[in-house]
Amino acid sequence: MIWEAGEYVAFIRHSTELQTAYTDTLGDLALGTLGALLAGLIVFRVRRNYSNPSAS
């Protein structure tokens, strides 16, 4: 989220990409959120299996 706000201020606000930047930013945020969710689920599963090896 912070990266996208910085990108907007630094590059997009004064460029010709302003019309498509919002869509691009929404896509980046959606993919970032899905990646964070997937990573969280993987960490949860690994930690659960590590603390209780009999559960799979």
Q: What is the pTM of this model?
A: 0.57
Which of residues 8 and 48 earns the better pLDDT score? 48
Specify the pLDDT at position 24: 72
pLDDT tens per residue, range 10-56: 766 677 776 676 667 777 888 888 999 999 999 999 998 888 766 55
H helix intervals, 1-56: 2-7, 18-51
Q: What is the dihedral of CA 30, 33, 35, 39, to 10 degrees?
A: -170
Specify the pLDDT at position 43: 96
